[in-house]
Amino acid sequence: MTIETRTSIVWDYAPAPESADHIRLKDRYGLFVDGEFRDPRDGRYVSTINPATEEPIAEVADGGPDDVTAAVESARAAYPKWAALKDLERAKYLFRIARLIQERSRELAVVETMDGGKPLRESRDVDIPLAAAHFFHYAGWSDKLRYGVNAPEVEPLGVVGQIVPWNFPLLMAAWKLAPALACGNVAILKPAETTPLTALLLAEICQEAELPPGVVTILPGDGSTGAALVRAPGIDKVAFTGSTAVGRDIQAALAGTNTRLTLELGGKSANIVFEDAALDQAVEGIVNGIFFNQGHVCCAGSRLLIQESVRDEVIAKLWQRMGRLRLGDPMDKNTDVGAINSAEQLERIETLVAAGEDEGATRRTVSCDIPERGYWFAPTLFTDVSPAHRIAVDEIFGPVVSVLTFRTQAEAIEKANNSRYGLAAGIWTDKGSKAFEVASALKAGVVWQNTYNHFDPTAAFGGYKESGFGREGGPAGLRPYLKIVR
Amino acid sequence: MTRLAVRKTYKLYIGGAFVRSESGRYDEAGGVNYPRASRKDVRDAIAAARKAAGPWAARTAYNRGQILYRAAEALESNRGRFVSGQEVDAAVDVLLHYAGWTDKLQSVLGGINPVAAPFLSFSLPEPTGVVGVIASDAPPLLGLIAEISPVLAAGNVVVAILSETEPLPGLDLAEVLGVSDVPGGVVNLLSGRRQELATALGAHRDLNAIVDATGDPGLATELDKLAAETIKRVRHGAAATSYEEAVGDALERLEAVTELKTAWHPVGA
């Protein structure tokens, strides 16, 4: 095992922490059912903690089986009226929600960062604005559904059960709720166990928007709550974003039922750097591809494929750039790499990184000050990686990039496609025709040329192969929530 | 003196070749023997299909449309081969309908995304890859054509399990396709016991999607569970018994076997 350490250049940044004094969090959040916050039936509350400090932030209800039943009853009761509402009126509610998210964006960003550990710069500039944009986009679809899916007559499905992960808590809630509601469904959303707070603030926003009770239910809880939700009678559609293992369980659990399903699962996305790329720009893109949100990104560019002729140069530039990444207090506006979301996730990263070393890859981890409390993992680069190594095959979901090389374009495509996943890919080249050719050959749902981790509500997102099925974003995002009548 | 007829030996259609089941097993229908495919035949068919998938998808949409049209021509001219002329007529029309989809699907399901950044972003449907089709028992030809045509039109390749009760029309279709321009391996047709073959298909790790037209709830549950292992796309439907039923939900049939890919290309800088 070799952990290369080096003295990083000291950049004197004064701390620039975002203030949290305007945040009005309650000590305790119940389940949001029937338009109001309620105690769970079995009275269980758990603390949600700040992963950067390990301090509890608030107590949050943990929904049990009885709560799932109550949630479905309330949603079923709300459904007929919501589905029958004039479509433009439905749109107006969603526009209101979009506006309220914008109004409360600073508060939402701070809470997102406190609860999940991601740098404030990211929650402020990416998560929250995109969440608002998503509601705004789908609000406008509410009265244009038949154009979106090319069908003269469509109907909503009914009650949808939605489970979102902890990496983009509010944004994923928006990706799920906005199209579901626009199509006339009512939704029961289960936020992730470690990051329930912004979804609960979104529940407050639903109240503020005077959304009819039962149209949106927020049911915090753990995996067992989610398992109960997807199996609950009265659920017409399930939408899940999370790991492939859980997605597989859900698909099997719904076998033989008429419950519709879409899955957005894991990835091991290839980020391909060709020798004719603008290398400095590519290095920025590699960093954004894998270290954005501590690598807790399903489409993270975790397999870096570099053309052999520029391998040494790219790795040298990348390693130098990695040394400038600022790891630490997520609330600091200069922080690049925040806290790992949970102790459990940190352990998973450590296990896979250890496997990488055991299997013979060369590890380099940036030497930087690690805060005393909280969960942290310094940016890490693996070279001498073989395509069979676990670090080249399994999703790490952390700030760890595995470098592979290629000689020809054909080899790059073959290596990139050699994965059971197919969520995303990056291409770095300044040659347009090559970019188009490679993009069309990659078996991945999203392909970025000379950029990475770029999202937009108008652009479909979702995977090939074991990265799931169904799309979110744009008109394609309407299909999973509609029944085509004719 | 009466002439002794030359009898036909029915065979499986795998990778463009007419082959007996590797198992050597056969069944008998209406005084005719036909092969009872094995799990190994399913695996061989999927391997042949995988080999054909890339080149088939890489053909231009116009070319694929012409090839499917040519298959419709071949079917029409072989009308006499099949028991029910009416069923052939409907099958030809269905094939024709989907032949016309090849160069329109992208425009209907795809488009430019007006993203709020300097990129040309577009989303286009692409074939999911190798699709397993489990045909209904009846109608044996139309039911099969109704399922494989949209799969092929969307650019996929097919491994189909034929009607268990009336496999001969499907095996006859193999001979029609064999003389059309459909490349070997793009359509693979297997006769045999559905339960055995369908589960082998569902469990295969190199299959991308399953289209199940049997309407059998027990089989549906089993296939769904098998599909979950590698997150296969699954579409269950009832057997199409008319042209209208086969094309009325054309876009849904096509969409079920496509993947939408979003590409982002920089504009400027």
Per domain, the residue ranges of chain B are: 60-266
| H or E element, residue A96 | helix A87-103
pLDDT value at position A18? Answer: 87
pLDDT truncated to tens, each residue of chain B (269 aa)? Answer: 789 988 889 999 999 999 999 999 999 988 899 999 999 999 999 999 999 999 999 999 999 999 999 999 999 999 998 988 899 999 999 999 999 999 999 999 999 999 999 999 999 999 999 999 999 999 999 999 999 999 999 999 999 999 999 999 999 999 999 999 999 999 999 999 999 999 999 999 999 999 999 999 999 999 999 999 999 999 999 999 999 999 999 999 999 999 999 999 999 86
Q: Yes or no: is domain B60-266 CATH 3.40.605.10?
A: yes
Confidence of residue A19 (pLDDT cuts 50, 70, 90): confident
Distance from CA of A155 to the nearest CA of B (A): 15
Q: Which residues are paired to B157 by β-bridges?
A: B130
A448 chain-B contacts, CB cut-off 8 A: 263-264
Q: Which residues of A touch B128 (CB under 8 A)?
A: 464
Please say whether the beta carbons of A112 and A127 come within 8 A.
yes
Q: Do B113 and A459 touch (CB under 8 A)?
A: yes
The active-site residue out of A18, A264, A466, A472 is: A264
Tokens for B49?
Answer: 């299909």
CB-based contact B260 A462, cutoff 8 Å: yes
- Taking the Cβ of residue B255 and every Cβ of chain A, the question of whether any pair is shorter than 8 Å is answered with yes
Residues of A in contact with B116 (CB under 8 A): 133, 456
CB contact under 8 A, A460 and B123: yes
Contact between chains at B260 and A244 (C-beta distance less than 8 A): no
Give the A window 129-148 contacts with B, CB below 8 Å.
133
Lowest mean pLDDT segment, chosen from A40-44, A435-439, B89-93: A40-44
Nearest-by-Cβ selection for A435 from B126, B260, B265 = B265
Contacts 24+ apart (CB under 8 A), A347-355: A348/A396, A348/A397, A348/A398, A349/A377, A349/A396, A349/A397, A349/A398, A349/A399, A349/A400, A350/A377, A352/A390, A352/A391, A352/A394, A352/A396, A352/A398, A352/A400, A353/A380, A353/A391, A353/A396, A353/A398, A353/A400, A355/A389, A355/A390, A355/A391
A216 touches chain B (CB under 8 A): no
Amino acid identity for residue A192 in this structure: A
Confidence of residue A466 (pLDDT cuts 50, 70, 90): very high
Task: For residue B22, give every residue at least 6 positions away whose Cβ sits within 8 Å of its Cβ, in sequence order, or none.
Answer: B38, B40, B41, B44
Distance, in Å, from the CA atom of B244 to the CA atom of B252, rounded to the nearest integer, reads: 14
Which residue from A248, A249, A439 is facing B263, i.e. has the nearest CB? A439
Record: contact A474-B208, CB cut-off 8 A: no
Contact criterion met (CB < 8 Å) for A461 and B222 = no
Q: A456 and B113: CB-CB below 8 Å?
A: yes
More confident residue, A3 or B113: B113
Nearest CA in chain A to B247: A486
Q: Of B114, B259, B265, which has the smallest distance from its Cβ to A464's Cβ?
A: B259
Window 181-240 of B, Cβ < 8 Å to A: 208, 217, 220-225, 227-231, 233
Q: What is the DSSP string of A457-479?
A: TTS-B--EETTEE--BSTGGGTG
Question: How confident is the model over A66-82, as a mean pLDDT?
Answer: 98
CA distance A43 to A64: 9
Q: What is the mean pLDDT of residues A424-430?
A: 97
- Check CB contact under 8 Å for B255 and A265: no
Q: Is A59 a catalytic residue?
A: no
Closest in B115, B252, B261 to A484, CB measured:
B252
Q: Does A465 touch chain B (CB under 8 A)?
A: yes
Strands in A424-428's sheet, in edge-to-edge order, are A362-365, A380-383, A400-406, A303-307, A270-273, A424-428, A446-449, B258-266, B119-127, B111-113
CB-closest option in A247, A265, A460 to B260: A460
Q: Looking at chain A, which residue has its C-alpha nearest residue B263?
A: A447
| Of A183, A206, A298, A299, catalytic | A298
Dihedral sign for Cα A468, A470, A474, A478, please: negative
**Nearest CA of chain B to the CA of A444: how many Å?**
7
| Cα separation, B168 vs B34, whole angstroms | 8
Strand duo B119-127 + B111-113: pairing: antiparallel
Give the pLDDT of residue B7. Answer: 87
Segment A100-113 shows an average pLDDT of 97
Q: A28-265+467-484 architecture in CATH?
A: 3-Layer(aba) Sandwich (3.40)
pLDDT of residue B1: 75
Q: Are residues A183 and A482 in contact, defined by beta-carbon separation less than 8 angstroms?
A: yes
pLDDT at A106: 96
Helices A128-141 and A87-103: crossing angle in degrees, nearest 10, is 170
Q: How far is A449 from chain B (nearest CA, A)?
A: 5
% helix, strand, coil for chain B, step of 5: 45, 20, 35
Q: What is the ipTM of this complex?
A: 0.94
Secondary structure letter of residue A117 according to DSSP: -
Q: Are B192 and B179 in contact (CB under 8 A)?
A: no
Q: Does B249 touch chain A if contact means CB atoms closer than 8 Å?
A: yes
Rounded to the nearest 10°, the torsion over CA B50, B56, B57, B62 is: -170
The shortest CB-CB distance from B224 to any of A255, A444, A445 is to A255
pLDDT score at A7: 59
Closest residue of chain B to A436, computed from CA coordinates: B265
Residue A248 touches chain B, beta carbons under 8 Å: yes
| Residue B90 distance to chain A (closest CA, Å) | 21
Q: Sign of torsion, CA A467 A469 A475 A477?
A: negative
Q: How many A×B Cβ pairs under 8 Å?
A: 119
Q: CATH number for the A270-462 domain, one of 3.40.30.10, 3.40.50.300, 3.40.309.10, 1.20.1540.10?
A: 3.40.309.10
In chain A, what percentage of residues exceed pLDDT 90? 94
Per-residue pLDDT band for A22 (boundaries 50, 70, 90) equals confident
User: What is residue A8's predicted lDDT score, i.e. its pLDDT?
Assistant: 59
Q: What's residue A4's pLDDT?
A: 62
Neighbours of A437 (CB within 10 A): 13
Does the beta-carbon distance from A486 to B248 stay under 8 Å? yes
Which chain B residues touch A255 with a CB distance below 8 Å?
A: 220-225, 228
Question: What's the pLDDT score for residue A442?
Answer: 98
Report the Cα–Cα distance between both ends of chain A, in Å, rounded: 62
A56 and A49 Cβ atoms separated by less than 8 Å: yes
Closest CA to A265 of A163, A112, A390, A388: A163
Interface contact flag, B231 A436, Cβ < 8 Å: no
Tell me how far apart the alpha carbons of residues B128 and B130 are, in angstroms, rounded to a whole number. 7
Per-residue pLDDT at A209 exceeds 90: yes
Element (H, E) at A401: strand A400-406
User: Strand locations in chain B, DSSP E?
Assistant: 12-14, 17-19, 26-29, 32-35, 111-113, 119-127, 130-134, 157-161, 187-190, 209-212, 233-236, 258-266
Which residue from B123, B126, B229 is facing A459, i.e. has the nearest CB?
B123
For A450, name the nearest residue in chain B, comparing CA atoms only.
B266
Which residues have C-beta within 8 Å of that of residue A312, sequence separation ≥ 6? none
Q: What single string gives the DSSP state of each residue in A160-225?
A: EEEE--SSSHHHHHHHHHHHHHHTT-EEEEE--TT--HHHHHHHHHHHHTTPPTTSEEE----HHH
Could you confirm whether A208 is annotated as catalytic?
no
Q: Which of residues 430-459 of A touch B (CB under 8 A)?
A: 432, 435-436, 439-440, 444-451, 454, 456, 458-459
Interface test with B, best of A246, A458, A472 (most B CBs within 10 A): A458
Contact B156, B128 (CB under 8 A): yes
Q: What contacts A26, CB < 8 A, 6 or more positions away?
A: A58
pLDDT score for A398: 97
DSSP A432: H
The CA angle A431-A436-A439, to the nearest 5 degrees, is: 120
Give the residue on A whose Cα is nearest the Cα of B260.
Answer: A445
Contact A189, A32 (CB under 8 A): no
Q: Where are the domains of chain A?
A: 28-265+467-484, 270-462
C-alpha dihedral, B44 to B49 to B50 to B56, nearest 10°: 160
Tell which B residues from 88 to 127 touch A, by Cβ distance under 8 Å: 108-109, 111, 113-117, 119, 121, 123, 126
- Which residue of chain B has the CA closest to A466? B231
Say whether pLDDT at A1 is over 60. Answer: no
pLDDT at B244: 98
